[in-house]
Structure 1
Amino acid sequence: MTASVAQYDVIIVGAGPVGLVLALILQAQGHNPLIIERHSARYGLPRAVGIYHQAVEVFNTLGLHDELFKTTITHSGDLMEDFAILEGSEGQCLARIPFTKKLKTGLPESYHLSQPDLEEILEEACRSRGIQVRRSTTVTDVRDETTHVVVSAEDRQGHLELRALFVVGCDGSKSTVRRSAGIRFLTEPGVSSRWLIVDIVPKSPEIMATWKDARVAKQYLNWRRTMTSVPAPPYRRRWEVMLLPDESFAESQKPEFIWPLLAEFGCKPENADIQRTAVYKLEGGWCEKFHKGRILLAGDAAHVAPPFLAQGLNSGLRDATNLSWRLDFALLYPQKNWHGLFQDYSTEQGGTTQRFVKAAIMLEKLFCVTDENAAKQRDAMISNGPLPLPDLGILGSPGMYVADREGDADSKLGAGRHFPEDLIRAGNDQQRLYEMAQWGWLLLFAQHAYSSQELESTLTMQRFREVLKGTYIIVGPEHCEDIGGTIREYMQENSLSAVLIRPDRYVYGGAKSIGGVERLIEDVINYTEST
């Protein structure tokens, strides 16, 4: 079968945030995705309550900023104090973790959100932009036929088969796509605790302000029972409660079990309602690889982690952006090195995944101590130093960026690190950096390093625009000014005159000369064009 016979460019299995965002990016790149979802309607109750700036950058570039911030996303500082608290067994403060800090650009690092509202806006954006979302359709098998992929499914009319050039499984931790592809899931040992989640809504908004720790995200590390409490938008509070060995899932979701646990906070049936309960056993692990031929995985289909780093949704959205530009290239240049790009996706995201899953499991062991003496030792350890948390702003394993390739030391500065968004002013206009770049490669130049005429005259820059959908911006008061100063500061700190940024906002490499810029671009093009 040839590509022209495939019904779709990409079939995405799963209409959660990860699948919806991936579809929106692919559509913006000019492709024809289909989303298949087994459920007939969206799940209307809360789940994820927080996201980070990288996710918001993606929403901004998709043109959804105003709508999401009107109804769905809230600056964390609007809901809570500046620090999350780790409270020890005796009620003492063990650590204060910055929660509402600003980036160098002045923009917040973290946000709160309502996941049901987010999914509604994302799905409506898909439909309004011509992306088909096919609900009540259950995938039963996925077959890679070398030139295309066949998806077998069941809907209300019976059996059907759909064909696409690529398939992405965004279908959760029990992924049918993963099973069909024969990709092994590697469970990380050491995860054992069981948890109850309770979302509480006050009977009136002002009541919530009277509850204990109303504006504080807090981890209560009591050896008798560990609990977590965090504000959630718009007027809601979430408690996560570790279950003891003799407490069953069924009994723990009953009101007579829940209300006594919340009484010390001033939260009771007279002033609040239980909106949602859920129970689960923590898991941690990742796939041995994130792709096999034309079948790829993203989000919970590829990895799961205990929730202590709040990376569930955030990690899935990183997968979507990291994968989207590789799919774009594979669809535009089917005879080129898309196999290598997908292997790099697996390497990069797999490395990042392993770091945050292992860190989350370490936190579970630390937080879920049930022995009094061991808890005292744990409290002393936390009090004596910061927790060893991973830096998730940098890719976890060498992949497609200069740090893993031959080249001078200058080009490797900052390679593999996420480049934060800044506001750009050009004359009287103001725009976000990645709204200007959209979903192509981006070159940032320091003012006075090169002239526009010099840049436009090179054949390499022409290929940069044509092959990589590249955009370049000269940064400085006479051209485009970075209002937060992030770009100028980055250039100065690393003594660079140019930096090349991938479509997923990670730095590919830097340069100090026009020759260095050309080498960076040629390196990217040569790698992607190799077969």
Structure 2
Amino acid sequence: MAAGPAGRQGDTRARRKERIMTDTQILDVAIVGYGPVGQSLSILLARRGYRVAAFDRWPSLYPLPRAVFHDHEIRRVFHAMGLGADVAAISQPSAKYQWFNADWKTLVEIDWSAESISDGPVGYLFNQPMLEGLLDGKARSLPTVEINQGWEATALVQHADHCEVQLRHGTMQDGQWTPDGATRTVRARFVIGADGANSFVRKSAGIAQDDLGFEEDWLVIDVKPNPGVKLDVPDIGQWCNPARPTTMVPGGPGYRRWEFMRLPHETIDDLQKPEKVWELLSPWVNPDNATLVRYAVYKFRSLLAQQWRKGRVLLAGDAAHLMPPFMGQGMCSGIRDAWNLAWRLDLLLRGIATEDLLETYTAERLPQVRAVIDASIAMGQVVCIADREAAARRDEAFLSGQVPPLPPFPGLTGGVICTDLGTTGIAGQLSVHGQVEDDAGIARFDDRIANGFHVIALDADPGQYIDAESAALLTRLGTSTIGVTTDPSKVKAGRVLRDVSGRYARFFAEHGASVIVVRPDYYVYGGVSDPAQLPALLAKLEQELSLSPEAAQRKAA
């Protein structure tokens, strides 16, 4: 039954009271921007019990598709949010990513359908409005999150122990966001700018950007083919045709996307006429067999913030980096930012670490994102050739095998990783994930073992290698210690799990490790081949986590 006027007024009073409480208290974290990155960080922090408020200028979620791809690592993050099955229901495994020349000869083939280190295909395709709906629903289900849509940040001031964010409220009037006179000021220990390419937070903090030189206009078109329509189109492809470089990709189950590069003689207005849109789509679809969902010209750029932290202000997502879409890593990189920040803020807000731990955020994320942007630019430079002679030279180089394959996806090269002890090549790599078995049956490792720091040993219980000092550290961090084995005789209830597929055994063997330490974001801190080195590895971890004075005093006691 719908609430009557008295009920609605009571509801409004309750929300106003809650807002007043938020504005008079100091929040743990205020997040400016409520796209997938802000939503993800809200969930990751609130699941740990922190008081979070998210603010976004727009009164509702953006209803049109944008990102369409996430990789296996981000699927693990969604699972950690408690959304694994829900995201699986609105996405589809990727196929091979193929690049063709004008004559449809294959120049490059990247197998995104192959098995990944995360126990599943390399990538997945999805519809962003559906994904944002899931993330929003999850965030709103958590009691320590306050979602504030229609609020634009207008001022940001840092103090010794908190930040103040001034905001004004607005509504949509004739398609334009219009202030309605309501204002508020919130205080938080930390402010995260996840507010996009034109980030207010980045500009307010005085953080400069580097332009890495890529800039092209592309028309992006999303369509929904009619039921039963079968399209004669590569599943995921780049048509490197100098007459019109074109991208073709699923837009999630039931949707398709095309992207067309603007040619030098065309204007943006030329491309945004409905008749031009259908003309470009005509080799594959037409108004009789598909519905046009949306179309818009986007400027693909490559920008990178010079620093991602300034005092109590941090950047994430497009506020920190923009990249061409040819690797499908824009949203993925933003969610990696949130995932990386979440465990750092958790240690800090729990009083275990000092703010010095935040200094390594930029040191870890910026080089990895820079490598991804550089690879995206290189791919874009292959695709975005509108000169026939240059395209012919490109084709000859690829078809003759003169072009080396793409490098592997970058790991971490700095920050909280151990590169000078043990099997150093494993440090900074994404850790393996697979199915394990215990008395309760077969399940994902991350369903059996709670998220956090992990010490994982091959064919043994790592507890036997841990001294008293290391044990104290692991207790403070809430670390799980567990063994994995393919040998049934070495399985121990609750201590050594069966490695069902042998993934863990292969990963350890590849890197020559017997024990590894894995961070909460699934990156390997370090590994050792000799278990006797584990206490030394953990001692280095303790140094690099910037323990708070209180934590150090507890250790001394």
Fold conserved between structures, TM > 0.5: yes
**Residue equivalent to 1:469:** 478
Structure 1 residues 486-495 or 24-33, which shifts more?
Answer: 486-495
1:455 is displaced (CA, Å) by 5.3
**Residue equivalent to 2:339:** 321
Match of 1:56 among 60, 71, 75: 75
- Do 2:423 and 2:528's aligned partners in 1 also have CA atoms closer than 8 Å? yes
- Do 2:514 and 2:528's aligned partners in 1 also have CA atoms closer than 8 Å? yes
Alignment CA distance shift 1:35-1:438 (3 Å)? farther
- Do 2:518 and 2:526's aligned partners in 1 also have CA atoms closer than 8 Å? yes
Match of 2:500 among 483, 486, 492: 483
Partners of 2:384 and 2:165 in 1: CA distance: 42
Match of 2:272 among 253, 259, 270: 253
Match of 2:424 among 404, 412, 425: 412
Alignment CA distance shift 1:401-1:5 (3 Å)? farther
- Do 1:86 and 1:218's aligned partners in 2 also have CA atoms closer than 8 Å? yes
- The equivalences for 1:268-287 within 5 A come to 268-287=286-305
Does 2:194 correspond to 1:170? yes
1:103 is displaced (CA, Å) by 2.2
- The equivalences for 1:373-522 within 5 A come to 373-383=389-399, 384-386=401-403, 389-395=406-412, 397-403=413-419, 407-408=420-421, 410-448=422-460, 450=461, 452=463, 454=464, 458-466=468-476, 468-476=477-485, 477=488, 478=491, 479-522=496-539
- Do 1:356 and 1:390's aligned partners in 2 also have CA atoms closer than 8 Å? no
Match of 2:116 among 103, 111, 114: 103
SS in 2 for 1:218: strand
Q: Give the 4+ runs in structure 1 shifted more than 4 A.
A: 385-388
Partners of 2:293 and 2:324 in 1: CA distance: 23
**Residue equivalent to 1:137:** 151
Does 2:165 correspond to 1:148? no
Partners of 1:119 and 1:55 in 2: CA distance: 14
- Do 1:29 and 1:439's aligned partners in 2 also have CA atoms closer than 8 Å? no
1:306 is displaced (CA, Å) by 0.7
What per-residue deviation string (whole Å, max 9, x for no partner) do you get for residues 34-54 of structure 1?
111111111111111111011
- Do 1:104 and 1:484's aligned partners in 2 also have CA atoms closer than 8 Å? no
Match of 1:92 among 88, 91, 105: 105
Alignment CA distance shift 1:388-1:342 (3 Å)? farther
1:146 is displaced (CA, Å) by 2.4
Root mean square deviation of aligned Cα:
2.0
What is the percentage of aligned positions where both structures have the same residue? 30
Alignment CA distance shift 1:398-1:88 (3 Å)? same
Amino acid at match of 2:218: W
1:6 is displaced (CA, Å) by 4.9
- Do 2:33 and 2:56's aligned partners in 1 also have CA atoms closer than 8 Å? yes
- Do 1:475 and 1:487's aligned partners in 2 also have CA atoms closer than 8 Å? yes
Amino acid at match of 2:471: M
**Residue equivalent to 1:345:** 361
Partners of 2:239 and 2:377 in 1: CA distance: 17
**Residue equivalent to 2:15:** none
Paired positions, count: 506
Does 2:286 correspond to 1:263? no
SS in 2 for 1:323: helix
1:185 is displaced (CA, Å) by 1.1
Structure 1 residues 502-511 or 103-112, which shifts more?
Answer: 103-112
1:63 is displaced (CA, Å) by 1.4
Match of 1:306 among 305, 311, 324: 324
Partners of 1:22 and 1:122 in 2: CA distance: 10
Match of 1:200 among 199, 209, 223: 223
1:327 is displaced (CA, Å) by 0.9
Does 2:240 correspond to 1:229? no
Alignment CA distance shift 1:230-1:126 (3 Å)? same
Alignment CA distance shift 1:33-1:425 (3 Å)? same
What 5-or-longer segments of structure 1 have no aligned partner? 77-81
Amino acid at match of 1:18: V
Alignment CA distance shift 1:511-1:88 (3 Å)? same
1:382 is displaced (CA, Å) by 2.1
1:106 is displaced (CA, Å) by 4.6
**Residue equivalent to 2:10:** none
Alignment CA distance shift 1:519-1:5 (3 Å)? farther
Match of 1:184 among 208, 228, 244: 208
- Do 1:424 and 1:481's aligned partners in 2 also have CA atoms closer than 8 Å? yes
SS in 1 for 2:167: strand
- Do 1:325 and 1:439's aligned partners in 2 also have CA atoms closer than 8 Å? no
Amino acid at match of 1:475: V
Relative contact order (alpha carbons < 8 A, sep ≥ 6): 1 or 2 greater? 1
Structure 1 residues 179-188 or 224-233, which shifts more?
Answer: 224-233
Amino acid at match of 1:524: L
Amino acid at match of 2:223: I
1:389 is displaced (CA, Å) by 3.0
Match of 2:130 among 107, 110, 117: 117
SS in 2 for 1:474: strand
- Do 2:465 and 2:535's aligned partners in 1 also have CA atoms closer than 8 Å? no
- Do 2:57 and 2:152's aligned partners in 1 also have CA atoms closer than 8 Å? yes
1:5 is displaced (CA, Å) by 7.8
- Do 1:6 and 1:165's aligned partners in 2 also have CA atoms closer than 8 Å? no
**Residue equivalent to 1:73:** 91
Partners of 2:512 and 2:409 in 1: CA distance: 24
1:358 is displaced (CA, Å) by 1.7
Does 2:381 correspond to 1:361? no
- Do 2:76 and 2:118's aligned partners in 1 also have CA atoms closer than 8 Å? no
Structure 1 residues 456-465 or 11-20, which shifts more?
Answer: 456-465
SS in 2 for 1:440: coil
Amino acid at match of 1:489: R
**Residue equivalent to 1:79:** none
What 5-or-longer segments of structure 2 have no aligned partner? 1-22, 170-179, 549-557
Does 2:548 correspond to 1:528? no
Partners of 2:338 and 2:450 in 1: CA distance: 15
Structure 1 residues 457-466 or 106-115, which shifts more?
Answer: 457-466
**Residue equivalent to 2:232:** 212
- Do 2:164 and 2:186's aligned partners in 1 also have CA atoms closer than 8 Å? yes
**Residue equivalent to 1:297:** 315
- Do 1:461 and 1:518's aligned partners in 2 also have CA atoms closer than 8 Å? no
Partners of 1:511 and 1:220 in 2: CA distance: 46
